[in-house]
Structure 1
Amino acid sequence: MTITMLKPDNPVVAWWRARVIASVDHVEVVEKVRDEAGFTGRYAFMTLMSAGIAVLGLLLSSPAVVIGAMLISPLMGPIIGLGFGLATFDWDEIRSACVSLALGVVIAVLFTALIVLVSPIQNVTPEIAARTRPNLFDLLVAFFSALAGAYAMIRGRAGTVVGVAIATALMPPIAVVGFGLATWNWTVFAGSLLLFGTNLITIAVAAAIVARLYGFGSHLSPQHTMLQTIVVTATLIACAIPLGLVLVQLGWEANASRQIREVISAEFEGAARLSQIDIDYQSDPVRVSATVLTPDIRADADRRAAATLKQLVGRTIAIELEQIRVGTGAQAEAAQVAAAQASSVSAANRVAARVQEQLALIAGVDADAVLIDRDNRRAVVNAVALPGANLAAYRALEARVAASVQGWTVTLVPPVAALPDVAVEEDKPDPEALATAIWAAQRIKLPIGVSGGDAEPIVAALTDAGIPARSVSTSGAGPARLRWVAPEVAAP
């Protein structure tokens, strides 16, 4: 970026200008960049097709399909255009590239969200999860991709392969943003949006650096060049710091995973084998579920391993250790193969058991009273009347369980308790009380009657939410009162 600030008598700079910069047809390159940076029908169509293939590959957890989406992605043009606009302070080019990028991103996100909404598969696959925790390596991928893309554009070698480098950093995160929007999974949405934004900024900045090195923007004053240098440096540092912190966390998790495996294995001797292990670093304490194939059952192995790991990793570890007694040799190997084949089913069963246990606890019922649909990841329970609990408390309990088991639909049906009073200010009902009433009506499946002078706006709000509601009285003052009413029977 600071090539124009170097002394002209520097032999390296003189050689670069005479042999490299002079060999570039700057006018032709600029015209080509402008042609490919605009929003066209072809650009919109290829963006939609690429996004659709990408989200299907992510839902199927198929890297090959995701790569296929990258092959047809048209994102390289506007990204490189933005970088060249930043390098030359060409505001028309910057505006055109930004409009093209914004429209492309919006239609891609909406299209992928639509596909996810109609898809029977809405689980967070490994391919999706991999794009929700950006780190410094992701930034480096975007940076190197931009260097390759800008070089290819300047040297006339732009093509599908180079376009894939740009799409690698952008198209899958865009598809994951659409997935998060469609499933209302804000953890996935925010993580993938951060990855996309970071990659977009990094690619544009890297393209601008290459453009300046090849003599684009040489007409700019030293003040402009210094401003570019400051902005580029500050941008890269601002992106690198949070991603570097995430990378440090990932490094800690990788080291902790190794230590967890070693410590659990050390509790057993001889032919024992660690068959399967799941680690949840997001929980507090860290939750570890492991299966060990062993000829001899070791009592308190989980407790001793947890105590050792607390000293090694510096965090409390909760270990659920399943010991399966097997023989040695071929028998142990056969058992390990069988356990590996059933690992995904076993993990799903453990999550289902956790959901069932938590729902039974908060609903005040036996675990057998909780209905579990493992295939569709749904759980339903009818709660008993708990002392002092109102509908808002039941709603909060349901939300707490749902937050602890991502990917599951949790439904807690409360008892027919008193509905909350709803205050109305400037014809707007209290949103929290109204949301509790709507939540309860959706689960209990009864109409709501509203009494009081402010009944009409509440009835309208409930009706808009799909809740059968009617005014039962318009007299009185103060907060409107809600109560359950019998369903209306249509006249014969």
Structure 2
Amino acid sequence: MNAETPFGAAAREQLDRFPLYRWWRRSIVGSIDHEHVMEKIIAESGWSPRYAFMTMMSAGIAVLGLLLSSPAVVIGAMLISPLMSPILGLGFSLALFDFAEMRRALIALAIGSGVAVMFTAIIVLLSPLQAPTPEIIARTRPNLFDLAVALFAALAGTFAIIRGRGDTVVGVAIATALMPPLAVVGYGLATWNLAVLGGAFALFVTNFVTIALSATIMARIYGFGHHLSSQQSWTQTVLLLLVFIVMAIPLGVSLRRIATEAVIVSQVRSSLNEQFDSRARVTQLDVNFDKTPIAIRSVVITPRDTVQQAGKVEAALRQRLKRLLTLQLDQVVLDPGARAFDAQKEELRQAGDAATAETALVSTISRALALAAGTSPEQVLVDRDHRRASVAAAVLPGADLATYRTLEQRAATDARGWTIALTPPQLALPEIGFADNSDELDEAGLAATEISIWAAQRWNLPALAVPGLPDTLTDKPLLAERRARRIADLVTKAGLRPTSAPAEGQRFRLAAPTTR
């Protein structure tokens, strides 16, 4: 620690005149064994083989929980994450202006974070499940509330370690906000999904910095660094405020946007209710903020005598919101008979509730499919009538056709009755293998054939060229011809037309047919 300056000593003598300050020094600072706390923090804040192993295990559990969309598994990773140790070391070193400990903690944190990201990326690359899940999506859009979560977690965790209340509280309070977003960074790196990677990294940095600086604040409250000079204390305070302000501004903007969208939806619903009779009911409301101008779609159940002109309702909405917008208004007109009206209204109310749930499902499908394909939700084509969603996937480094097919299958699993079509980039079809001296496809060969047929269907190819397939049947076909016919039968069964192509020795690889 730095020696106290004469000016600092004089200032402290002035403060000693205040009863509250004397109480704080006696009851708060005096009750803490500062040396014991610092020995414990320093002992656990550096790099060690145990730290590396525990970080990898925590990261592995976290990424598997995210891929399985299992909150229970993700919580397991939170409980054993060791990242809080170097972060606490960094926070206390900032409070003490201990640059040696600060450098030691930063090195441990950087190495641990890098190991966690690389380990989770390897797991994702080896996993057949690579589609983004709700657990992954939830960690890609940080806002001011995430900063508040990290702040409260850090304050609770630092209090626990200073007061000796148990390591479990520290692990739960601090690790909760770190390992899952770090695992999502590894997922984004493995799938080369920059939107996921960037959002999760922003969340990790927000949480890590907030936790470290909150630990610094708690350390100063409990008397760590009270021998620092007045200049050092003011420098520390100003830097803390600046960092929190710099982080809070973009996160506040994100939170404000979310809140503004919620207010606009409420205003739109209120305005629609005002435009129609009290017997009418807004059963479906979908506001698309990604379009310019804002696109609004609504379904209103109304008696025949209160039907409104869509243009008039749209003009009223523009005047109410003071924004440019487009309105697609569908009015379900009911006959005015009392009992008939009530029965029809109740029937359509139930249908409207189902439509609202369907709209939410469509939004979820679009977002998940866009993340799987590495594109934006606006590029997903949704056919509500036929319950079909399709998207053209971007080129993902290291991904082959099997990867894209797995992404599509995972997205279809979460789509509940929808047909999902993910069109892969134009990549080479896989090579098809057979059992030795046999015309029977081995397991890998059958999988390669299925992938080739799937890719051809997604590319809208009417036919596939089969190497070695003769134009006419022969009485005693050779092995290569029998193999070609076996593949051709599978192509025909899938609804495609097999065409002949020059053979390439004993190798079989389907291709788009060439024009003769």
Q: Which runs of no fewer than 5 residues in structure 2 stay unpaired?
A: 1-7, 335-342, 371-378, 394-419, 427-458, 462-500, 507-516
Q: Return the letter of the residue paired with 2:227.
A: H
Q: Partner residue of 1:70?
A: 78
Q: Partner residue of 1:164?
A: 172
Distance of 2:230 and 2:282 partners within structure 1: 63
With CA pairs under 8 Å and 6+ residues apart, which has the higher RCO, 1 or 2?
2
Q: Return the letter of the residue paired with 2:53.
A: F
Distance of 1:350 and 1:267 partners within structure 2: 32
Instruction: Name whichever of 298-307 and 98-107 sits farther off.
Output: 298-307
1:20 to 22, 25, 28: 28
**1:101-116 equivalence runs, <5 A:** 101-116=109-124
Aligned-pair identity (%)? 47
Q: Would you say the 8 A contact 1:71–1:161 is kept in 2?
A: no
Q: 1:263 and 1:83, CA in 2 relative to 1: closer, same or farther beyond 3 A? A: same
SS in 2 for 1:288: strand
Q: Would you say the 8 A contact 1:293–1:335 is kept in 2?
A: no
**1:413-424 equivalence runs, <5 A:** none
Distance of 1:284 and 1:178 partners within structure 2: 34
Q: Would you say the 8 A contact 2:185–2:201 is kept in 1?
A: yes
Q: Would you say the 8 A contact 1:297–1:323 is kept in 2?
A: no
Instruction: Name whichever of 155-164 and 50-59 sits farther off.
Output: 50-59
Q: Partner residue of 2:347?
A: 331
Q: Would you say the 8 A contact 1:348–1:374 is kept in 2?
A: no
1:191 to 199, 219, 225: 199
SS in 1 for 2:344: coil
Q: Would you say the 8 A contact 1:135–1:244 is kept in 2?
A: yes
Instruction: Count residues with an aligned counterpart.
Output: 379
Shift of 1:38: 2.2
* 2:264 is equivalent to residue 282 of structure 1: no
Q: Partner residue of 1:229?
A: 237
Q: 1:336 and 1:234, CA in 2 relative to 1: closer, same or farther beyond 3 A? A: same
**1:361-372 equivalence runs, <5 A:** none
Q: 1:109 and 1:275, CA in 2 relative to 1: closer, same or farther beyond 3 A? A: farther
Q: 1:251 and 1:408, CA in 2 relative to 1: closer, same or farther beyond 3 A? A: farther
1:213 to 221, 224, 245: 221
Distance of 2:105 and 2:133 partners within structure 1: 33
* 2:321 is equivalent to residue 313 of structure 1: yes
Q: Tell me the alpha carbon deviations over residues 137-188 of structure 1, each in whole angstroms, 9 at most, x when there is no partner.
A: 2222222221111111110013223322212322232122223223333222
2:51 to 43, 46, 58: 43
Q: Would you say the 8 A contact 2:139–2:181 is kept in 1?
A: yes
Q: Would you say the 8 A contact 2:276–2:307 is kept in 1?
A: no
Q: Which runs of no fewer than 5 residues in structure 1 stay unpaired?
A: 355-361, 381-406, 414-442, 446-486
Q: CA RMSD in A?
A: 4.0
Q: Partner residue of 2:4?
A: none
Q: Partner residue of 1:254?
A: 262
SS in 2 for 1:38: coil
Shift of 1:15: 1.4
Distance of 1:273 and 1:182 partners within structure 2: 47
Q: 1:115 and 1:288, CA in 2 relative to 1: closer, same or farther beyond 3 A? A: farther
* 2:183 is equivalent to residue 175 of structure 1: yes
Q: 1:211 and 1:249, CA in 2 relative to 1: closer, same or farther beyond 3 A? A: same
Q: Return the letter of the residue paired with 2:171.
A: G
Q: Partner residue of 1:83?
A: 91
Shift of 1:410: 5.2
Distance of 1:349 and 1:136 partners within structure 2: 26
Distance of 2:310 and 2:54 partners within structure 1: 54
SS in 1 for 2:177: helix
Q: Would you say the 8 A contact 1:271–1:328 is kept in 2?
A: no
Q: Partner residue of 1:472?
A: none
Q: Tell me the alpha carbon deviations over residues 275-326 of structure 1, each in whole angstroms, 9 at most, x when there is no partner.
A: 4444332332223344555666987765444433333334322344455678
Q: Return the letter of the residue paired with 1:84.
A: F
Distance of 2:296 and 2:98 partners within structure 1: 55
**1:451-466 equivalence runs, <5 A:** none
Instruction: Name whichever of 234-243 and 323-332 sits farther off.
Output: 323-332
Shift of 1:193: 1.6
1:11 to 7, 13, 19: 19
Distance of 1:95 and 1:291 partners within structure 2: 60
Q: Return the letter of the residue paired with 1:71.
A: L
SS in 1 for 2:164: coil
Q: Partner residue of 1:53?
A: 61
Shift of 1:83: 0.3
Structure whose alpha-carbon radius of gyration is higher: 2
Distance of 2:125 and 2:274 partners within structure 1: 47
Q: Partner residue of 1:421?
A: none
SS in 2 for 1:328: helix
Q: Return the letter of the residue paired with 2:111.
A: L
Q: Tell me the alpha carbon deviations over residues 78-126 of structure 1, each in whole angstroms, 9 at most, x when there is no partner.
A: 1111101111122222122112211221122223333444445544444
Taking structure 1 as the reference length, the TM-score comes to 0.65
Q: Partner residue of 1:417?
A: none
Q: Partner residue of 1:400?
A: none
Distance of 1:275 and 1:65 partners within structure 2: 38
Taking structure 2 as the reference length, the TM-score comes to 0.63
* 2:104 is equivalent to residue 96 of structure 1: yes
Distance of 1:235 and 1:48 partners within structure 2: 30
Q: Would you say the 8 A contact 2:277–2:306 is kept in 1?
A: no
